Amino acid sequence: MSSPASTPSRRRGKRGRGSNPPTPQDARSPPSQKRRTDDSTSTGDLQPMPTSPPADAQSPGAADALFSSPPQFRHSAIPLDFDISSPLTYGTPSSRVEGTPRSGARGTPVRQRPDLGSVRKARQVDLHSDGLAEDIVATEQSLGQKLVIWGTDVNVASCKEKFQRFLQRFIDPLDKEDEDIGLDLNEPRYMQRLQEINMVGEPFLNVNCDHLRSFDENLYRQLICYPQEVIPTFDMAANEIFFDRYPDSILEHQIQVRPYNALKTRNMRNLNPEDIDQLITISGMVIRSSQLIPEMQEAFFRCQVCAFTTRVEIDRGRIAEPSVCKNCNTTHSMALIHNRSMFSDKQMIKLQESPEDMPAGQTPHTVALFAHNDLVDKVQPGDRVNVTGIYRAVPIRVNPRVSSVKSVYRTHIDVIHYRKTDSKRLHGVDEETEQKRFTEERVELLKELSKKADIYERLALALAPSIYEHEDIKKGILLQLFGGSRKDFTHTGRGNFRAEINILLCGDPGTSKSQLLQYVYNLVPRGQYTSGKGSSAVGLTAYVMKDPETRQLVLQTGALVLSDNGICCIDEFDKMNESTRSVLHEVMEQQTLSIAKAGIICQLNARASILAAANPIESQWNPKKTTIENIQLPHTLLSRFDLIFLMLDPRDEAYDRRLARHLVSLYYQSEEKMEEEYMDMAVLRDYIAYARSYVNPRLGEEAGQALIEAYVDMRKIGSGRGMVSAYPRQLESLIRLAEAHAKVRFSDKVETIDVEEAKRLHREALKQSATDPKTGIVDISILTTGMSATARKRKEELAQALRKLIQSKGKAPSLKYQQLLDDLRAQSDIAVTKEMFEEALRALADEDFLTVTGKTVRLL
Amino acid sequence: MPCVGDWLNSPLSIVQGIFAQNAPNSDWEKKVTEYFKEKLKENNATNWVPSLNDVPVHYLKPNSLVKFRCMVQDMFDPEFYMGVYETVDPNTNARVLHFGKYRDVAECGPQQEIDLNSPQTVTSERQTFYCVPVPGESAWVKEISFLTDASQARVSPSTSYTPSRHKRSYEEDEDMDLHPSKQKEQHVGKSCLQILCFSGSGGDIHGCVEPKRLETEASAGHHVISPNCSPPLDLNFPLPGEKGPACLVKIYESWESFKVNDVLEVFGVLSVDPVLSIVNSEERDSSSLDPMECMDTVEEQRVHSPPASLVPRIHVILAQKLQHINPLLPACLNEEESKTCEFVSNFMSELSPVRAELLGFLTHALLGDSLAAEYLILHLISTVYGRRDVLPLGKFTVNLSGCPRSSAFTEHLYRLIQQLVPASYHLRMSIESMNHSRFIPHKDYTANRLVSGLLQLASNTSLVIDETQLEQGQLDTAGVHNVTALGNLITWQKVDYDFNYHRMEFPCNINVLITSEGRSLLPSDCQVHLQPQIIPPNMEEYMSSLLTAVLPSVLNKFRIYLSLLRLLDYSISDEVTKAVEEDFVEMRKNNPESVTADDLHKMLLVARFLSLSAGQTTLSRERWLRAKQLEALRKARLQQQQCVNGNEL
C-alpha cells in the first residue's frame, strides 16, 4: 500500500487542516467514494452513537491522555461528528484527518503506533478504574502521585514530567555523535532536535537511551521494562513541549518518540523469555524483507440488515467480529467493509546475527522484525543494522477453528528505531569507533597491557605462535595490523594520505608464508584471502552483474573493496597475471579503486592493507640475484610496499635445533597447555581493535627531527655515489611505521623510540631485500628503479665503451650489428650478452649518437 | 516387564507423574532427566530403546521413547514455548496445570481452553536442530547396531517394533486405533485436513490398506508425492543417495555445547502428531486473519515444519555427543568406567597380531605393496587432535599415486576401506562432477536453512577422492570453487560455508585419501607411489575373494583397532625430543637442501601414528628411527619415479 493509498491521504491531511470541513473531492478511488457518500448519509441518522463499542466501554479521556495513539477524533470535538463517519476515512490512519481549526497538540492528528500497540487492549481495560482519576491528575497535579499504570510502577504524570525535564535540560557536551551536525553541544540537545522537527517537519524524535540513563536511571529502567506504556507517555510529553514552543507548527501527525541504543544491547543469541515485552537493541544483518503488508488496524463493520456501522480495533492481531448487531440485535449480520477499515503499512524483515557475534561451529540465528509505517522499506537485505524495538511472543494457533494451541510462541520484534551500522562507511567516516564496544574491564586490561615495557615484543610473539621465529617479520605484520594514522590533506590538494602499511613476503617455498597469511586473515575482522593464481582483476576489484530478476545492473565488489579497512592477503602474488597486478597500483597508493564498466563509472574506497606472499621465480631463492630478479615483480609495484621481507631458510645449526624442539612440542602438547603459553588470540584482537579506533598518534617535535635525519641519511647513502636512492615514498613509509609503533604503545605522540624502531625495521627489511648481491651493499635504488646502482653504472660504462669503439672505427656511416657485437665482445673483459649490448645501443640512441634500423647501425 | 514398558512406551505419563508431584516448583525438570538417566543406566537399557536409525518411523509408536544417532546438519532458531500452562473449563471454571515440555502441541481437552494470560504460565526456551543420519555411515555400522538393538528389543514384548513381517499387522491395528480417534477429536469436519493426513502422516492410513505400497514408499527415501502437487521435500542430506529419516530434534538443555556437524545420540519422545504439518495448508485458509501467518515464506514453512511423518520430531530428554559411531566399541571411552578400561586393556593385549593381520590384509588390497599398506594404516588412524592457531595438527592426507587406472582398482579399494571405517564417502572426481555437484553448504535465505553440500561431513569420516577418472576439460566457476574448497579442506581442515553475504569457517576433521595416477592436483601431506607386485587378471574377483577370506570376527577386530587407536593420547619424552633434535640438525648438516621443516613435520606425524598403531602412547627411539626409515623409503620411491618419468620424457 506504499503509495496509492497513503500518499494521497497524507496530502489530504495537510490540506484538511486548513480547510474545514474537508470535502471528499480528493478522488483517487471513485468507486469507494461513492459508497462513502452513501455511508455518510446513512450513518448520519445514527449520530447519537458515534463511537465504536470498545471506545465507549472506557473513559475516552483517560485512554487518550495515556495513549496518544488511539485515534483522537472520536471525542476531540463534538461539532466534528460529521468527520467521524465522514467519507474521508479511507486507508491508512494518517488519513484520519480532523479538520480542527486550531493547530497545536490537539489539532495535529495522532498517528497510531502499531509498533507499540499490539497488546495494548488488555492493559487498557485494566486501566479503566484509574482512568477518571488520571484525568484529574492531568489538571491537578497534587492528587495523582501514587497512581500507576496497572501492572507496572509507572506513574504517568511523574513520568511525563521527568521526561519533559530531560528534554529541556539534557546537555552532554562531550558526547559527539555523527548525527549531531549543526548542533550546539552546550545547549539542551533535544530542544534543538525539536526545533529541527519544527523546521524539517519530520515528526520523529530519536532519543538516545544512554542519555536518558545518565539523566535519570529510574526513568530509563521504566522505559526498558514497560516500553509499551512509557513511550506513549514520552510522546505526550514531547508533543506538549513542542506545541507549547511552536504553537503554529504544522506537522503531518504528532511527534513520535523513538528511543534507540537501549543499553540492554544484546546479542541475538542471548535473547530469552525474560526479554519479552521489553525494549531491546540488537544488532544484525538484514537477510530478507517482505513485500509490504497492509495490516488492518481497525475494522469497519456494517450490519446487513439495518446498516448500522461499527468499528473494531485490532487486538493482539485479531479482529473480534461482532456477532450481534447492537442496533437491531440481528445475529451474524455484521459484514466487514474493507474500504472503510483502517490499515497501516507493515513489513516483515528477517534479521540474522552478525557474523562476529556467532560462536564458532554454530549456524547463525535469525529473528523476525516487524516494521511499521515509516520504517517500512528503510533497510535492504545485506544491511547491517542496530534495531531497537519491543520483543514480542505470540502463541500460534494450530488452526483458527480448533482450540488446541501449538505450545510454541512465535517471536518477533516490533521495530521502533533502526540504525544502520555501515551506512556511514559509505560516507567515509571511520566507523570503527562504532564497531566494537569494549567493557570497562576489558579496556582496563588492555591499558594495563599497554604499559608493559615489552608489549611490542609480547604482541609480536603472540602473533602466529605456531610459526617459528621470524620475529622481525611478525613485528612488521604487527605494525601493519595497527596501521598508521589517517591524515586528510584534501584541502591542500593532496587527498588522503595512505595510512595502511603494505608488506610483501617473499622466500623459499615451505617457509610458512601461507600460514602467516592465513593467520592474519583469521585475526582481522575484515580480512580477505585470495590466491594470486585463482584471482582475476575482476575478482579483486569489482564487477558488474545483471540481476537475473530485476534485469538491473548491480555492482558486485571484489576482495579489495571488501577488505576496505581491513587486510587483503594475497598468496602466490608472483603467479598473478600482469593485468591483475596492475589493478593494485591504484589501490596501494591512492587507496581507491576506479571502475568504468558497463556504464557504471565510480570510485570505490579500498583502504586495504596488502599482505602479499610471493615465491622466487626459480622457486628456490637464488642468493646471487637481487630481489627484483628473484621475484620479477615490476618495481613500480615493489616500491609501494613499505616492507619487503625475505623468508629464507637460515642454514644454521642452532636455529635448526630450536626449530626441531618447537615442532616436536607441537606434536605432543595438549591443547589446553598450548593456549596457556601465549597471549589469547581474542585479547590480541581486542588490543588491535582498541588501538585502531581510539589511538591516533601524531608526530612529536623530536620524532619529526629524527625522521628528517633518517631520511637525509638515506638520501646521503645514495648521493655518495652520485645518484638518488631514497624517495619521499620511503619517508612516508617510515612515518607510517613510526605511527603504528606508537599505536602499539597506546601513545598519542610519536616519539623518538618509535622512529628508531621504524628505522630499524625498515633497515632490516631493506637489508634483506635491497642488498646488491654483487657488492653486498644495501641499495635502495634496487627497489625504486629495479636495477642496482652498480648495474646501472656498468650499463653506462658499457655504453661509453661502445661509443669509443664506434668512434675508433672512423668515419664509416653504418655498421653491421653482429660485427659490432663481436668487436665489443673481443674488446671487453666481461661477458657481454646480447641484451646488454642492445641496452648500450639504446642508451646511445637516446643520446642521438646513432640509430638502429634492422641489422645495421647508423651514425648520426 | 511392565515397568520397562512404562518409561519406554509412554514417557510422557512418567513426566506427568513427576510434574504432578512437584508441580509449580521448577525442580521437576531436573527430576525428569535424572529419572531417565537412571533408567537408561540399567544394564543394556539403552538397547531396549528402539532406534530411528533402524526402524522406520511408521513402526514406532507416537510419544514413545526412541533414540537416534545423527549429525546436526543445521540449527534453527530457538523457540519459546509454554513450559507450564493452565487450562480452564469454561463451564466449571476448573483450572488444571499442564506442562508443555517434550510436546509440540499444548494438550487441551475438548471442553477446555488454554488460558493464555494465566499468571501460572511459564515461558521457556528450547532449540531445534535439524539432524540427519551420520552421512556416509557404513552398512556394517547400521547392521551391527541394529542387531544389538533388535536382540534386546525382542526380549521386551512391549516394545512396539519387531522386524518380523507377520507381526506388523497387529501393530498397525493398534496404531490405527490410536490415531483416527485423535484426529477426530482435533479436527472434525475438515476435509482438506483429511487430504493432508494422507500426504503427511500417510504411513498410518495407507499402511493398513496397502501394506505393500507402504513398504516401497518407506524405502524409496521418502519421496512421497503430496496430493497438493508441491515438489517433494528435499531432506537435505549432505551426500547424494542417502536414506534414512531426517529429524527435528528439540533440545531443552545446554544446547550451546553442540555444534553443527557434531554427531549426537539422543534419547527422547517421538512426536509425529499430524497437526504439526497443518501449517502448510493454512495458506489456502484465507479466513485466517492471523498476521503471523504471513510472516514466513512458503519455502520456509515447508522446511521448518515439514510433515511429521517425513521428518519426525524428537523431544530430547538426554543427549550426548558421540566420540565415534563404531558400535563395536563402548559408546563413551572415558577412563573412569572400569568396563571400558577393561575393554581397552583387553584389546591392547592382542594389538600386535591384529596389526600384523591388518597390514597383511591391506598389503593384499594394495596389490602386494607393503609400504603403501603401512602408510594406509597410519592414514586411517590419523585424526586432528588439536589446532595451533590456524594450523591443524594430526591430519595426514595421503596421496596414493600410481594407481592402475583401468581395472577399477580404486573402486574396489574404497569398498574395502568402507568395510573398515564407520563412515566414508567415495568422491569420483570428474569435470562433470566438479562442475555440477554442490560441495560447500550454503545458506538459503528464502527457506532460511543451510543447504547441505558434499563437504558437510562428521568428524573422522573417510573421504576417498578418486582422481584417476579425471579427464582434461574446463572447470567453470562452480568447479573452481569446489576444487578450492577441497584444497582448503585438505590443507586447513576447514570448510568455508557460504552465507551469501559472508562466509563462515567451520573446522572439520576429515581423513582424505587421494588416489591418482601421477601426483595429485590437490595438496596432500604425503605422497606414496604405489608399486604393485601382482596385477590380478580379474580385479573384482581378487578383491572380493580378499574380503571373503577374512573372518567376520577378524574384520570386527580391524574395525575396533582403527577406531580405538584414534582416541589414544600421545606424548614425547624430553629424552626423545633431544634425540630428534640431534637427528634433525644432523640431517640438515648433511643435506640442507632436501630436509626442511616440512619434512620434520611429516616425520613427526609418521612417528606419532606409527607409535599409536603399535599401541604405544609415547615415542620411543626405535619408532623414530622406523619413521625415518619409512620416510626415506617413500622418498626414494618418489625419486625413482621422477627419474623414470624423466627418462620417458
Q: Which residues 274-293 of chain B have a CB within 8 Å of chain A?
A: 275-276, 278-279, 282, 285, 287-292
Q: Does residue A326 share a domain with residue A250?
A: no
What are the residues facing A369 on neighbouring strands?
Answer: A349, A413
Q: Does residue A840 share a domain with residue A803?
A: yes
Contact between B318 and B33 under an 8 Å Cβ cutoff? The reply is yes
What are the residues facing A505 on neighbouring strands?
Answer: A613, A645
- Residue B144's φ and ψ, nearest 5 degrees, are -65, -40
Q: How confident is the model at residue A774 (pLDDT cuts 50, 70, 90)?
A: low
Condensed to tens digits (0 to 9), the pLDDT of residues B564-615 reads 888 877 777 778 888 888 888 888 777 766 677 778 888 888 888 888 888 8
Coil, strand or helix at A287? strand
Amino acid identity of B456? Q
3-state secondary structure B485-553: HHHHHHHHCEEEEECCCCEEEEECCEEEEEECCCCCCCCCCEEEECCCCCCCCCHHHHHHHHHHHCCHH
In this predicted structure, the answer to whether residue A425 has a pLDDT above a threshold of 60 is: no
How buried is A831 (Cβ within 10 angstroms: 0-12 exposed, 13-18 middle, 19+ buried)? exposed
Q: Does residue A325 share a domain with residue A296?
A: yes
Residues of A in contact with B570 (CB under 8 A): 667-668
Element housing B587 (H / E): helix B574-590
Q: Give how far B635 is from chain A: nearest CA, Å.
A: 17
DSSP state, residue A854: T
In this predicted structure, the answer to whether residue A591 has a pLDDT above a threshold of 80 is: no
**Among the listed ranges A220-234, A420-434, A648-662, B393-407, which one has the minimum average pLDDT value?**
A420-434
Residue among B106, B123, B572 minimizing CB distance to A668: B572
CA nearest to B576 within chain A: A664
Looking at this predicted complex, what is its ipTM?
Answer: 0.72
Q: How far is CA A473 from CA A513, A648, B40, in A?
A: 10, 11, 57
**Could you give the CA distance from residue A395 to residue A413 in angstroms, rounded to a whole number?**
14
User: What is the residue extent of each domain of chain B?
Assistant: 11-152+240-277+295-321, 359-551, 569-648
Amino acid identity of A254? Q
pLDDT of residue A539: 62
Contact between A504 and A614 under an 8 Å Cβ cutoff? The reply is yes
pLDDT of residue B58: 80
Q: Does residue A283 share a domain with residue A256?
A: no
Tally of domains within chain A: 3
Q: Give how far B241 is from chain A: nearest CA, Å.
A: 25
Q: Which residues 299-318 of chain A have a CB within 8 Å of chain B?
A: 317-318
Here the cell at position B622 is 626405535
A396 interfaces chain B, CB cutoff of 8 Å = yes
In this predicted structure, the answer to whether residue A137 has a pLDDT above a threshold of 50 is: no
Letter string b/e over residues B144-170, b meaning 16 or more CB atoms within 10 A of that residue's CB: bbbebbbebbeeeeebbbbeeeeebee
**CATH code for position A821:** 1.10.10.10
- CATH label, B359-551, candidates 3.30.56.10, 3.40.50.1820, 3.40.50.300, 3.50.50.60: 3.40.50.300
Q: Does residue A283 share a domain with residue A242?
A: no
**CATH code for position A391:** 2.40.50.140
**Among the listed ranges A2-16, A246-260, A312-326, B618-632, which one has the minimum average pLDDT value?**
A2-16
Q: Which residues 405-464 of chain B have a CB within 8 Å of chain A?
A: 443, 445-446, 448, 450
Q: A666–B504: do the CB atoms touch at under 8 Å?
A: no
Contact between B83 and B126 under an 8 Å Cβ cutoff? The reply is no
First CA to last CA across chain B, in angstroms? 77
Q: Does residue A241 share a domain with residue A215?
A: yes
- Residue A351's φ and ψ, nearest 5 degrees, are -115, 135
Exposure of A7 in the CB half-sphere (CA atoms within 13 A): 5
Q: Does residue A391 share a domain with residue A340?
A: yes
Q: Does residue A156 share a domain with residue A207?
A: yes
**Could you give the CA distance from residue A236 to residue A239 in angstroms, rounded to a whole number?**
5
pLDDT of residue B3: 52
Residues A730-754 have a mean pLDDT of 81
Q: Categorise residue B375: left if φ over 0, alpha if ψ from -120 to 50, beta otherwise.
A: alpha
B483 interfaces chain A, CB cutoff of 8 Å = no
Q: How many CB atoms lie within 10 A of CB A168?
A: 12
CA nearest to A286 within chain B: B501
Q: What mean pLDDT value characterizes chain A?
A: 68
Share of chain A above pLDDT 90, in %: 0
Within a domain: A303: yes
First CA to last CA across chain A, in angstroms? 84
**Could you give the CA distance from residue A505 to residue A615 in angstroms, rounded to a whole number?**
9
Residues A789-814 have a mean pLDDT of 72
Coil, strand or helix at A475? helix
Q: Does residue A239 share a domain with residue A292?
A: no
Q: How many residues make up chain A in this entry?
A: 860
- Which of A634, A665, A788 has the alpha carbon at shortest distance from A721? A788
A380 interfaces chain B, CB cutoff of 8 Å = no
What are the residues facing B511 on neighbouring strands?
Answer: B462
B111 interfaces chain A, CB cutoff of 8 Å = no
- Find how far residue A795's CA is from the centre of its chain: 53
Q: A360–B507: do the CB atoms touch at under 8 Å?
A: yes
**Could you give the CA distance from residue A497 to residue B162 in angstroms, rounded to a whole number?**
77
Q: Considering A421, A455, A475, which residue would you say is the last residue of a domain? A: A421
Cis peptide before A21 (omega within 30 of 0): yes
Domain extent, residue A848, equals 787-859
Q: Does residue A244 share a domain with residue A348?
A: no
Condensed to tens digits (0 to 9), the pLDDT of residues A724-739 reads 456 777 778 888 888 8
Contact between A114 and A295 under an 8 Å Cβ cutoff? The reply is yes
Residues B393, B394, B395: CA angle, nearest 5 degrees: 100
Interface test with B, best of A664, A666, A672, A677 (most B CBs within 10 A): A664
**Could you give the CA distance from residue A104 to residue A17 in angstroms, rounded to a whole number?**
11
Interface test with B, best of A408, A569, A653 (most B CBs within 10 A): A408
Within a domain: A833: yes
At a CB cut-off of 8 Å and minimum separation 6, what does A40 contact? A82, A85, A86, A87
Of B438 and A773, which is predicted with more confidence?
B438
Q: Considering A395, A421, A447, which residue would you say is the last residue of a domain? A: A421
DSSP state, residue A699: E
DSSP codes, B226-284: PTT-PPPPP---SSTT--S--EEEEE-S-GGG--TT-EEEEEEEEE--GGGGGGGGGGG
**Could you give the CA distance from residue A743 to residue A725 in angstroms, rounded to a whole number?**
29
Residues A408-418 have a mean pLDDT of 84
pLDDT of residue A351: 86
Q: What mean pLDDT value characterizes chain B?
A: 75
Interface test with A, best of B388, B497, B571 (most A CBs within 10 A): B388
Q: Please name the residue that has the C-alpha cell 553541544.
A: A185
Condensed to tens digits (0 to 9), the pLDDT of residues A523-560 reads 776 677 777 666 555 566 666 666 555 556 666 666 66
Long-range contacts of A3-11 (CB under 8 A, 24+ apart): A4/A28, A5/A90, A5/A91, A5/A92, A5/A95, A5/A294, A5/A343, A6/A91, A6/A92, A6/A94, A6/A95, A6/A345, A9/A90, A9/A91, A9/A92, A9/A94, A9/A95, A10/A94, A10/A95, A10/A252
Q: How confident is the model at residue A185 (pLDDT cuts 50, 70, 90)?
A: low
Q: Does residue A282 share a domain with residue A256?
A: no
Low-confidence ranges of chain B (pLDDT < 70): 1-5, 23-25, 109-110, 149-233, 275-298, 331-339, 389, 407, 592-594, 643-649
Coil, strand or helix at A151? coil
Interface test with A, best of B284, B501, B589 (most A CBs within 10 A): B501
**Could you give the CA distance from residue B84 to residue B98 in angstroms, rounded to a whole number?**
6
A623 interfaces chain B, CB cutoff of 8 Å = no
Contact between B473 and B431 under an 8 Å Cβ cutoff? The reply is yes
Within a domain: A285: yes
DSSP state, residue B294: G
Q: B592–A651: do the CB atoms touch at under 8 Å?
A: yes
Q: Give how far A245 is from chain B: nearest CA, Å.
A: 40
DSSP state, residue B344: H
Residues A335-342 have a mean pLDDT of 84
Q: Give how far B93 is from chain A: nearest CA, Å.
A: 16
pLDDT of residue B332: 65
pLDDT of residue A422: 52
Residue among B292, B389, B443 minimizing CB distance to A681: B389
**Could you give the CA distance from residue A308 to residue A301 in angstroms, rounded to a whole number?**
8
Here the cell at position B206 is 495407507
**Could you give the CA distance from residue A29 to residue A38 in angstroms, rounded to a whole number?**
15
Q: How many CB atoms lie within 10 A of CB B52?
A: 25
Q: Give how far B47 is from chain A: nearest CA, Å.
A: 31
Residue among B287, B291, B502 minimizing CB distance to A400: B287
What are the residues facing B303 on neighbouring strands?
Answer: none
Of A286 and A469, which is predicted with more confidence?
A286
Contact between B106 and B215 under an 8 Å Cβ cutoff? The reply is no
**CATH code for position A166:** 3.30.1640.10
Residues of B in contact with A422 (CB under 8 A): none
**Could you give the CA distance from residue A277 to residue A414 in angstroms, rounded to a whole number?**
10
**Could you give the CA distance from residue B493 to residue B499 in angstroms, rounded to a whole number?**
19
Q: Considering A372, A396, A421, which residue would you say is the last residue of a domain? A: A421
Query: What's the predicted TM-score (pTM) here?
Result: 0.69
Within a domain: A578: no
- Which of A333, A43, A108, A127 has the alpha carbon at shortest distance from A242? A108
Residues A507-521 have a mean pLDDT of 75
Q: B104–A367: do the CB atoms touch at under 8 Å?
A: no
Q: Does residue A304 share a domain with residue A239?
A: no
pLDDT of residue A292: 81
